[in-house]
Amino acid sequence: MSAVKKGLVTFAAAVPEEGLKAALARPRSEVIAEVTASKLRGRGGAGFPTGVKWNLAAAATAPAKWVVCNADEGEPGTFKDRVILAEVPDLVLEGMTIAAWAIGAARGVLYLRGEYAYLRDSLEKVLARRREKGLLGTGILGSPLSFDVEIRMGSGAYVCGEETALIESLEGHRGEPRNRPPFPVDCGYRSEPTIVNNVETFACAAMVLAKGAEWFRGIGTEVSTGPKLFSVSGDCREPGVWEFPLGITIAGLLAAVGGEGAKAVQVGGASGRCVPASEFGRTLAFEGVPTGGSIIVFGPRRDMLHVAENFLEFFVDESCGQCTPCREGNAKLLEGVRMLREGRCSWAYLQELQKLGEVMQLASKCGLGQSSPNAFLSIVEHFRPEIMGRTAGGNA
Amino acid sequence: MSSRIERTASISRAPVSQRGHVVPVSADPEAIGGTVSVTIDGIEAKVPLGTTILDAARALGLKIPTLCHHPDLEVAGVCRICVVEVEGQRTLQAACAFPITSPIRVQTHTRKVRQARRRILDLMLSKHVGECYTCFRNLNCELQTLAKEYGVDFFRFGHEAARRHQVDDSSYSVRRDMDKCILCRRCVRTCIDLQEVGVLEAVGRSDGTRIATFLDKPLNDVVCINCGQCINRCPTAALGAMDPTDDVWIDINDPKKHVVIQTAPAPRAAIGECFGLPPGTPLTFEMNTAMKTIGFDRVFDTNFTADLTIIEEGTELLLRLHEALVQKKDVALPQFTSCSPGWVKYLEHFYPEMIPNLSTAKSPQQMFGALIKTFYAQKAGIDPASIVACALMPCSAKKYECNRPEMCDSGHKDVDYGLVTRELGQMFHEAGIDLPKMPKGSFDDPFGTATGSGVIFGATGGVMEAAIRTVVELVTGLKIEDVFAHADVLPVRGFDGVRYVELPIPAIGEVPDLLKMNKGLPFSDWKWLEGAVLKVAVCHGTANAKRVVEDIKAGGTFSKCHFIEFMACPGGCLGGGGMPIPTSPEIRAARAKAIYAEDASYEIRKAHENPAVIRLYQEFLTDGPCGEKSHHLLHTHYTPRGKYIA
Ligand SMILES: Cc1cc2nc3c(=O)[nH]c(=O)nc-3n(C[C@H](O)[C@H](O)[C@H](O)COP(=O)(O)O)c2cc1C
Ligand code: SF4
Ligand code: SF4
Ligand code: SF4
Ligand code: SF4
Ligand code: FES
């Protein structure tokens, strides 16, 4: 298991079922209002306001609705959901149950990353225990709420963490993102209204109901509220899962984890951005450098071209292949990085590749292709002399 | 039941990722919330809620390029060539997949949009192996057209020269060249969703994605029914028909060969499209002259055997009805038509247990082949071995049909080549023929001139209409005009996916002489049909066929039918897999209009009044319809294939 340093401090202190009891004692609209007031934003990367999402699903009229927990955690350098599921699984299920009450769902799915299969047994036990204790099933805690959760396994495709591809995968199709709109809150799993939230988001929601929106807003910044878990890896003394309030500066985080002297930090995993040392004063927040929680520290001796190549190899493997910009674009970017490494990439072609990256960001069908060029583009922007340095022909 | 083309996504088998947004559109556009306003390139309009940006733009006369979008298919939103800017959205949006549900402002050709489209094209071209000169889609290719429109003047991301895939030419009908595939998946949606056959699927991912068959088997070894609907909807040359024109030219040029061609009705209404004319411009008689000009020795009209099919299939139906109603035998009813080889193969694969319901009558193409190499050879004094029988067809499955091993009843291969409309157009071009300017010419004897009953075989419902005209007259002794004004059996016409019609027999007459030629007939009067109600149905597209067959198996409405017309292709033959590309509901409707207009213009519009057909029975098939001789030459048998092929 990973080294947990300061991780899960807030979550570990949660009083069991405090949030669920509070929620069931109040009408649905007030539960959603509380989540909205907390300004909680999705912890899965996109940062969509959770209250808004729940409200849309609650407003949809349909005989059946779904609560889906996205535990696919496929972003390279992210491992905080695994720790949450291992250490405070009840908090996540509590959050899902609150969500079910809020939107009027009777069934939930926990979509577990294929590589986390070893967690499945213990999670099933938690589910069984909750059913026994009347925390799942019909008439939860004496309320009118009936809700149960089943675990479904992912099969190792990164793109299945994208919520609509996840739903396709649940339905037994190729994991390919859908056209949006319609959004899952209108037409999701089995074409029924569905909310998909990250593991950490559900845990936060349970805390919000337990301790109140005001308490939650007291942590973090005006825009980015609450505590946040960070999966820290790379060239630092204390890698692992850390908890910080949102809004901490990159420099502050590096100081805490022993990563001073880093040359760059990849924020947000492979699909995130590479931040150079000159910008370490920026904050980790939705208004600063947004992140699902992955922090990869690059020490002074790291080869940034190698970093770009590594990330692009990942995307060339993981693109679902559905849409042109991402399917062909990532391969072209990777080819370009290899040309750079061999000193065969002209200045002009590098510019073409940058333009291509921007087009991929704009025109790809889903978040994968829209964000896969991020690392490449930020490395080209901030480390141009370093990556062009290998040009044998001297056209740098 | 409604037309497949208008089917809602809810019964679609396509994954939701490949479906449009179904916003429940208010039935009353005047109702509050029934419409929504949109501003595209500064033009404001109101559109029904849920209209896509693409449709809204087209309604305003604005052009947005598309590749993966097709009017017959579900939305995919995968090629991204149609991206536009929607105010307030961070990313560009696919116009084909974006339903307008709130007022938005859209820009369709900003710098951002153009740069994106150009690069998307560049990416497609980088993997596109092949050069336009050597390509059958040259000058009729959506990719090529876009390259021109977007001013592609160099290959920004390179241009692969080496093949990565082997051409699959295992099928008699469809040729797959995946090096020209741009992964728009129109073929996948056509096969699984429009036709509900499901031969093609995208496999692999990322830049390794490709369109494949089950276990990458050759097309000949999977359940492909050869309908060619995927060809008609492929934007490039990745899918095409197996083209026999080189061999046909060789035979034409061989003085020892007597090369004849029969021409089916549907191509006439469409071949003009190969010459830039609008769909539905009939060129029947110009085509006759042109075919002679390029070297065919005789030009025959498939309508002749279409009429013959009606007599044979109609007699077969009467025999089955007699067995069922009078002899109380357990006989397979409803009788299914057998003239669409795609449909026949579909049934052989998916419902082999229903083969007894298929009429044993051969398709008009194959009847003709068998007669050319027997009756015609005899009459003309030509050695059948030196006759080359070509067939101009709208249909890629006909190429396969003529190669079925049992189709040799004349003692030779009954039909040597199935040529499709596109290929004949190409031969004309090669011979420098400007088809629309050709003088008119007639069909050759001894198979007589065109009849309306044969012509309408080209449209869905046509076989049924021709059969009704004949069966009603043969049984009632009345004139069909007295039952249906102008002999137009309107209830069976149209494009609804499935049509069901009940037809009370208004009177009974004498058994006509034509039928009496068959001495083995088990009846000598029609008393047993007195007061009967003929129940028939018409259905086109295998997706609809599947619904009808399932209904029959479940004992539903269609199980009470006597006779059902099935066509594999949406629209019937006029939507066949060998017809000019592109296709759309409008194009098919225009072709249908031409076909019905041609029918109305003919003097002879009933199969049993075709003098050439009557003469054939008198001179050659002397034991009458469904007699011994006709059984040998004009009827066939089928092969239960099943879904799992070794
Ligand atoms: C390619 C791709 C992969 C994703 N993977 C994950 C994931 O593993 N876990 C996750 O929670 N969200 C993932 N997301 C984000 C989800 O699509 C979705 O936004 C998120 O689950 C919503 O939950 P939240 O609002 O609670 O963050 C991914 C998005 C993309 C585009
Ligand atoms: S952006 Fe990439 S992952 Fe997303 S739909 Fe397109 S090809 Fe698939
Ligand atoms: S498919 Fe189109 S672009 Fe490709 S070679 Fe043929 S005509 Fe040219
Ligand atoms: S010819 Fe018809 S059955 Fe065969 S792959 Fe194409 S659409 Fe499918
Ligand atoms: S074969 Fe044709 S229709 Fe099918 S995906 Fe390729 S280009 Fe599109
Ligand atoms: S035409 Fe719209 S994405 Fe292909």
Q: Average pLDDT in the B237-260 region?
A: 97
Structural domain A10-217, CATH architecture: 3-Layer(aba) Sandwich (3.40)
B157–chain A Cβ distance below 8 A for any pair: yes
Inter-chain residue contact A365 with B124, CB threshold 8 Å: no
**Rounded CA gap, B472 and B503, in Å?**
9
- Residue B131 buriedness (CB in 10 A; 0-12 / 13-18 / 19+): exposed
Predicted model pTM? 0.94
CATH topology of domain A304-388: de novo design (two linked rop proteins) (1.20.1440)
User: Is the pLDDT reported for residue B491 higher than 90?
Assistant: no
* Candidates B85, B286, B313, B598; catalytic one: B313
**Cα A321 to averaged position of ligand 3 atoms, centre (Å):** 22
Delineate the domains of chain B, giving CATH numbers in brackets: 2-109 (3.10.20.740), 120-241 (3.30.70.20), 245-304+365-437 (3.40.50.1780), 307-361+449-634 (3.40.950.10)
User: Following CA atoms A134, A139, A143, A146 in sequence, which dihedral angle do they give, to the nearest 10 degrees?
Assistant: 100
User: Is the pLDDT reported for residue B12 higher than 70?
Assistant: no
Predicted confidence at residue A391, as pLDDT, reads 58
Shortest alpha-carbon distance between residue B106 and chain A (Å): 15
Q: Give the domain ranges of chain A.
A: 10-217, 227-298, 304-388
User: Is the pLDDT reported for residue B645 higher than 80?
Assistant: no
Predicted confidence at residue A395, as pLDDT, reads 42
Backbone dihedral angles phi then psi of residue A26, each to the nearest 5 degrees: -120, 155
Q: Give the tens place of pLDDT for each residue, A100-139.
A: 999 999 999 999 999 999 999 999 999 999 999 999 999 9
Predicted confidence at residue A4, as pLDDT, reads 43
Q: Which of residues 91-110 of A touch B (CB under 8 A)?
A: none
What is the average pLDDT score of chain B?
Answer: 92
The DSSP result for B355-414, as a single string, is GGGB--BPPHHHHHHHHIIIIIHHHHT--GGGEEEEEEES-SHHHHHTTSTT--TTSS-S
**A-to-B residue pairs, Cβ atoms closer than 8 angstroms:** 131
**Rounded CA gap, B457 and B449, in Å?**
15
Identify the CA nearest to A22 among candidates A206, A226, A217. Answer: A206
B156–chain A Cβ distance below 8 A for any pair: yes
**A227-298 is classed CATH 3.10.20.600:** yes
**Rounded CA gap, A11 and B84, in Å?**
44
User: Is the pLDDT reported for residue B509 higher than 80?
Assistant: yes
Identify the CA nearest to A24 among candidates A75, A88, A99, A87. Answer: A99
CB neighbourhood size of B325 (10 A): 15
Residues of B in contact with A171 (CB under 8 A): 15-16
- Measured between CA atoms, the residue of chain A closest to residue B181 is A324
Helices (H) and strands (E) in chain B, counts: 22, 17
Q: Give the tens place of pLDDT for each residue, B101-117.
A: 899 999 999 999 999 99
Residues of B in contact with A334 (CB under 8 A): none
Inter-chain residue contact B206 with A316, CB threshold 8 Å: yes
B25–chain A Cβ distance below 8 A for any pair: no
Q: CB of B67 closer than 6 A to ligand 6? A: yes
Backbone dihedral angles phi then psi of residue A193, each to the nearest 5 degrees: -55, 135
Beta-carbon contacts of residue B384 (< 8 Å; ≥ 6 apart): B373, B374, B377, B410, B411, B412
Sign of CA dihedral A269, A274, A280, A281: negative
Return the residue whose CA atom lies nearest to atom 4 of ligand 4. B224
Same CATH fold, A304-388 and A227-298? no
Residues of B in contact with A362 (CB under 8 A): 83, 91-92, 112, 116
Q: Average pLDDT in the B524-543 region?
A: 94
Identify the CA nearest to B263 among candidates B61, B468, B486, B420. Answer: B420
Q: How far apart are the first and last CA of chain A?
A: 45
Q: Which of residues 365-384 of A touch B (CB under 8 A)?
A: 365, 370
User: Is the pLDDT reported for residue B1 higher than 70?
Assistant: no
ipTM of the prediction: 0.94
Strands B83-86 and B417-420, bridge-based pairing = unpaired
Assign A6 a pLDDT band (cuts: 50, 70, 90).
Answer: confident
Q: What is the DSSP letter of A189?
A: G
Beta-carbon contacts of residue B272 (< 8 Å; ≥ 6 apart): B278, B279, B281, B282, B283, B435, B436
Taking a C-beta distance cutoff of 8 angstroms, is the pair A305, A386 a contact? yes
**Rounded CA gap, B631 and A31, in Å?**
78
**Rounded CA gap, B72 and B189, in Å?**
10
Structure tokens given for A349: 């072609």
**Rounded CA gap, B179 and A207, in Å?**
55
Beta-bridged to residue A194, according to DSSP, are A66
Give the C-alpha distances (Å, rounded to integers) separating B169 from B178, B241, B403. Answer: 11, 9, 15
Percent of chain B with pLDDT over 90: 86
Q: What is the DSSP letter of A320?
A: -
